[in-house]
Amino acid sequence: MTSVRLLLADDHPVVRAGLAGMLAAEPDLEIVGEAADGAEACALARELRPDVVLMDLRMPGLDGVSATAVISAELPETRVLVLTTYDTDADIVRAVEAGATGYLLKDTPRLQLADAVRAAARGETVLAPTAAATLLTRMRAPAAPQAVLTARETQVLALVGEGRTNADIGRELFISEATVKTHLIRVFTKLGVDDRTAAVTVAMRRGLLPTS
């Protein structure tokens, strides 16, 4: 039986210990690392290349949504399964838009959680009933007006259009590379594109970037 390699990301040590104890009882699940915040989750994901990251949403520094966006962009083979106490519409939508494969609540029974981890590793979408209802309602709602870029997103994308790397952009704007990537993921989502070149092209066509 092939093991599913799992990274736990939660800022509460007791929660991580509880999850590790619950899931370690499953012979095909292997806990390969634990992270106390989003930045550590990203770093360990790059180092360990887990199959699944079990991600809390509310963490200090880089939060779970931002970390999900970074991991989804950099490590497409690693699935992010959100496990949180929060079930608000905004949290659910932000997590899924950031690239989360699934969204579960922390009251999920052990066996159901283990099955969800396996399903996420296979690339299947796993949603708590609340999350599924929220996303279904959103899909059925009339299309919202076209989103506009924030001032910071516009700055980042304009520098991308100048051929700058993420590191260059981070230094110029005094933000981290992870934050640059998060802004770009949000830009890609808003513009409905998959890469930097397409984002610049679409933004220019829509008049969202300043012209020189």
For the chain, domain boundaries: 4-140, 151-205
More confident residue, 126 or 137: 126
pLDDT tens-digit map of 152-206? 999 999 999 888 999 999 999 999 999 999 999 999 988 888 888 888 888 887 8
Pick the CATH number of 151-205 from 3.40.50.720, 2.40.10.10, 1.25.60.10, 1.10.10.10: 1.10.10.10
What band does 144 get if pLDDT is binned at 50, 70 and 90?
very low
What band does 145 get if pLDDT is binned at 50, 70 and 90?
low
pLDDT score of 95 more than 50? yes
Neighbours of 77 (CB within 10 A): 8
Average pLDDT, the chain: 89
The owner of tokens 């494969």 is 101
Query: For position 2, what pLDDT does the model report?
Result: 79
Q: Which CATH architecture has domain 4-140?
A: 3-Layer(aba) Sandwich (3.40)
Please list, residue by residue across 21-56, b when 16 or more beta carbons sit within 10 angstroms of its beta carbon and e when fewer do. eebeebeebebbbbbbbbbbbbebbeebebbbbbbb
Query: For position 97, what pLDDT does the model report?
Result: 83
At 151, list the tokens: 């001032």
Query: For position 101, what pLDDT does the model report?
Result: 93
Give the integer Cα–Cα distance in Å for 109 and 113: 6
Burial of 168 (0-12, 13-18, 19+ CB in 10 A): middle
pLDDT score of 52 more than 80? yes
What band does 53 get if pLDDT is binned at 50, 70 and 90?
very high
Neighbours of 11 (CB within 10 A): 18
Which range is least confidently modeled, 48-52, 59-63, 140-144?
140-144
pLDDT tens-digit map of 57-92? 999 888 898 899 999 989 999 999 999 998 887 788
